[in-house]
Amino acid sequence: MSFTYSFIGLGLGISTVIKNGRFMGSITGVQKAKVADKIWLIFQAIGDISFSYPYSIILLEIQDTLESPPPENQTMKKASMVAIFITTFFYLCCGCFGYAAFGDATPGNLLTGFGFFEPYWLIDIANVCIIIHLVGGYQIYSQPIYSTADRWFTKKYPNSGFVNNFHKVKLPLLPSFEINLFRFCFRTSYVISTTGLAILFPYFNSVLGLLGAINFWPLAIYFPVEMYFVQKKVGAWTRKWIVLRIFSFACFLVTMVGFVGSFEGIISEKIRGKG
C-alpha cells in the first residue's frame, strides 16, 4: 500500500513540475517575514523528520516473529537496512518534488494538494491505499500499548474477573468468540480518545512532529544505546562510551528542538483557528 500511494504522489509531483514548466519555491524553503517564524518551522520540520522512522517501537515485536536459522538479529539487520534505504529514497523524492510542485503552498499531506487535479480516480486510489495502510498501522503500533496495559492490570489485579476472565459470545450468523471485558473497554476507550485528540488537533505536520519528537530519542536512541552498553559490556569513559554518549545527547537535543517547534506549531494553529 505504501509503495502504491508513494509512487502516485511522486508521479503526480513530477507531472505537476513538468506542467508548471519550472520549480516552485526556493532553495531556502518556505519564506517567512519574521526570522522567529522561520526558526519555528525549522524546529517543526526536525520533529517531522524524527517521525519518519517510527518502526523502532515495533522492531522487537517483528523480530520475535522471525524463525531461525539464520539468527533473527542478522535477518532483521538486513531487512532494516533495505527498509531504511527504500524509505529514505521515497521520502526525499516525494518531499523534493512535492515542494518543487507547490512551493510555499505545499500541504503537509502531499496528496491533498492534488485534490483538484485530474485524474481524480488516481488520487482516490492513493487515498484508499492510505486508509488501508493507516488502519493496519494503527493496529500494529497500538499493540505495545495494549500489551503493556494487559500485563500491568493482570499483575495489579490478579483476582479480578473483569480483568482476567474471558466470556464466550455468540452472534447470529457468526461463529462464537471469546471476549475480555477489560480489553474491550480499554481498547475502545483508547480508540475513542485518540480519535478525539485527532479531531481536536487536526494539524497534520505539527502533530506528526510532536509524536516523532516524543518517540525519537527514548525509543530509537537512548534504549538501544543503553542495551548496547550492557550487551557489549562497554566500560565507562572509554572512547566508544564517550562517542555514543555524545551521540545520544545530540539526538536528545534534536528531540527537544523538534518537540518545542511542533508544540509551538500546534498552539499557533489552534490560536489562528479560533481567530
Confidence of residue 116 (pLDDT cuts 50, 70, 90): low
pLDDT at 42 over 70: yes
Chain center to CA of 145: 15
- What is the pLDDT at residue 54? 65
The share of the chain scoring above pLDDT 70, in percent, equals 94
Q: Which three cell numbers stand for residue 88?
A: 529514505
If one compares 241 and 95, the residue with the highest pLDDT of the two is 241
pLDDT confidence band for 154 (50 / 70 / 90): very high
Q: In which band, very low, low, confident or very high, does the pLDDT at 192 lie, cut at 50, 70 and 90?
A: very high
Contact 102, 24 (CB under 8 A): yes
Name the residue ranges covered by the structural domains of the chain.
2-156+201-274, 158-200
Angle of helix 120-156 versus helix 181-200 axis, rounded to 10: 130
Residue pair 262/44 in contact by the 8 Å Cβ criterion: yes
CA–CA–CA angle 70, 75, 80 (5° rounding): 175
Q: Could you read off the pLDDT of 1-10 as tens digits, one per residue? A: 778 888 888 8
- In this prediction, residue 53 carries a pLDDT of 66
How many Cβ atoms sit within 10 Å of the Cβ of residue 185?
11
Q: What is the mean pLDDT of the segment spanning 264-274?
A: 76
Q: What is the mean pLDDT of residues 42-57?
A: 77
Residue 174: how many other CB atoms lie within 10 Å: 8
Element (H or E) spanning 35, and its range? Answer: helix 35-50
DSSP track, 47-80: HHHHTT-GGGGSHHHHHHT--SSSPHHHHHHHHH
- Interval 82-89 mean pLDDT: 84
The answer to whether residue 242 scores a pLDDT higher than 90 is yes
Mean pLDDT of the chain: 83
The reply to whether omega before 119 is within 30° of 0 (cis) is yes
- Cβ partners under 8 Å of residue 101, min gap 6: 12, 13, 16, 17, 20, 24, 113
First to last CA, the chain: 38
Q: What does the pLDDT read at residue 250? A: 92
- Look at the block and give the residue holding cell 455468540: 170
Does pLDDT of 244 surpass 90?
A: yes
Distances (CA, A) of 188 to 96, 137, 168, 270: 39, 17, 19, 27
Bridge partners (DSSP) of residue 169 are: 177
Per-residue pLDDT at 270 exceeds 80: no
The yes-or-no verdict on residue 115 having pLDDT over 80 is: no
Q: Please give the full DSSP string across 82-139, using - where no structure is assigned.
A: HHHHHHHHHHHHHHHHHHHHHGGG--SSGGGGGTTSS-HHHHHHHHHHHHHHHHHHHH
